[in-house]
Amino acid sequence: MTPDEKYLDLLKSDLQRSGRNDQDEYLQELIEAAKEEIKGYGVKYTDSSDYTSVLVSYASFLFRSRAEMNYDRTMPRHLDRRIKQMIWKQVRDDE
């Protein structure tokens, strides 16, 4: 299983859409958007469960914010905190 397939499966589970394939292309685009956006915050790609969790949570946030018409896209505090913690961990590990 490729990382992208894993991300898609986890996102579908998070959104309670397992077994459905009708929105796979859209969900894959959200994953790609989430990758770019968290990269813009300073998160580097790693093959870790932390990265996977943050990426899937962010993609889920993008999906839900659109569904709820939350166009200002105010990020939930728990997700903001996880992104900041991940950045700090990556900076610390690079030293």
Of 52, 69, 60, 67, give the one whose Cα is nearest residue 16. Answer: 60
Count the domains in the chain: 1
pTM for the model stands at 0.87
Range of the domain at 63: 3-94
d(CA 19, CA 69): 26
Residue 34 has pLDDT above 80, yes or no: yes
Residue 70 has pLDDT above 70, yes or no: no
d(CA 1, CA 16): 20
Residue 74: per-residue pLDDT: 82
